[in-house]
Amino acid sequence: MNPITNIPFTAQIINMCAAFLLLIAFSMLSQRRILTLINLFALQGLVLSISTAVVAFSSNQEHLYYSAGLTLVLKVILLPWILHRLIHKLNIKWDVETMFNIPTIMLIGLALVVFAFNLAAPISQMSGTITKSTLGIAIASVLLSFLMMITRSKAVPQVVGFLAMENGLFFAATSATYGMPMVVELGIALDVLVGMFILGIFFFQIRVAFDSLDLKHMEKLKED
């Protein structure tokens, strides 16, 4: 009998969502257009929401339905809308600038994926969840998002990288332990939302002071 047929259908959907999340993480890592980057972040949130809902259905974890709904509202609708409004108000039309060329960044990303799978292997063996096979992808998504954040020279792509890294951490929590308690998830969601408003004000202040969102200006200010 084909071993693939022994895998429950819900587990196959979860694995497919995990593969999409990894693909989106690489797409965000190589993306140069700021609007496309935000749209990819929204797509990542949608896939994460679907995966969480399927995990809730397959494991009878009712609190994960609320997590999926919260992810849908916050990560797919609200935060992308705020980011689109922000770049419209700031009149941002430039492409995403990277500190290294894209092929080099992608090679580093591949190395991080290999590291993530080796790191997750012993942890997955101890986990009893239906999503334990996706833990490596979850850790890889976190590392790829962190790599995207530190290799961008502009403020907005760095914020998108931070938000994507939070998505990866949420997926890792779902993979390892069927998610975090609802109170913790609501607290994190509130922190992310408040942080976005604060960062929006911070972006406007940088734009007024330097007429640019390049963080190199902040380094020059520190040197002075």
pLDDT tens, N- to C-terminus, the chain (224 residues): 444 456 677 778 888 988 999 999 999 988 888 888 889 999 999 999 998 888 888 878 787 888 888 888 888 988 888 888 878 777 765 566 677 788 888 999 999 999 998 888 877 776 656 667 788 888 899 899 889 888 887 777 878 888 888 888 888 877 766 655 544 555 555 556 556 655 655 555 555 544 555 555 545 544 44
pLDDT of residue 149: 83
Q: The pTM is what?
A: 0.78
Which of 189, 127, 143 has the alpha carbon at shortest distance from 28? 143
CA distances from 120 to 125, 134, 172 (A): 9, 9, 10
Which residues have CB under 8 Å from 111's CB, separation 6+? Answer: none
Q: Are 73 and 46 in contact (CB under 8 A)?
A: no
What phi, psi does 78 have (nearest 5°)? -70, -55
| Bridge partner list, 98 | 152
Give the whole-angstrom CA distance, residue 213 versus residue 204: 9
Other Cβ atoms less than 10 A from the Cβ of 32: the count is 13
Give the whole-angstrom CA distance, residue 18 versus residue 41: 15
pLDDT of residue 1: 42
pLDDT of residue 67: 82
Which residues have CB under 8 Å from 20's CB, separation 6+? Answer: 47
pLDDT of residue 8: 73
pLDDT of residue 43: 94
Which residues have CB under 8 Å from 165's CB, separation 6+? Answer: 142, 145, 146, 149
The two structure tokens encoding residue 39 = 């749209």
Which residues have CB under 8 Å from 63's CB, separation 6+? Answer: 56, 179, 181, 182
